[in-house]
Amino acid sequence: MARTISRDALKQKISKLETAISKNRQQYDQLTKELKELLDKKKALQSEELMKAIAGSSHREMKSEI
């Protein structure tokens, strides 16, 4: 048979779960914000490295033409 539960106990469990979900949502939001920041930094570094490589390549081409 299904176990019966009082209305107050049910409300308490619902409230407890809602609080836990809210905390997890806040943690998820914070972690995704941090991840986005790190990925943006990684992309900036990659762009900088690419620009340096292109600049170095252009410089070498100019020297070889002389």
pLDDT digits (tens, 9 = 90+) for 29-48: 999 999 999 999 999 999 99
- Residue 61 has a pLDDT of 62
Q: Is the pLDDT of residue 24 over 80?
A: yes
Place of tokens 């619902």: 14
Is pTM beyond 0.85 here? no
Which structure tokens are listed for 53?
A: 């490589």
Give the C-alpha separation, 23 to 29, whole Å: 10
Which band of pLDDT confidence, cut at 50, 70 and 90, is reported for residue 58? confident
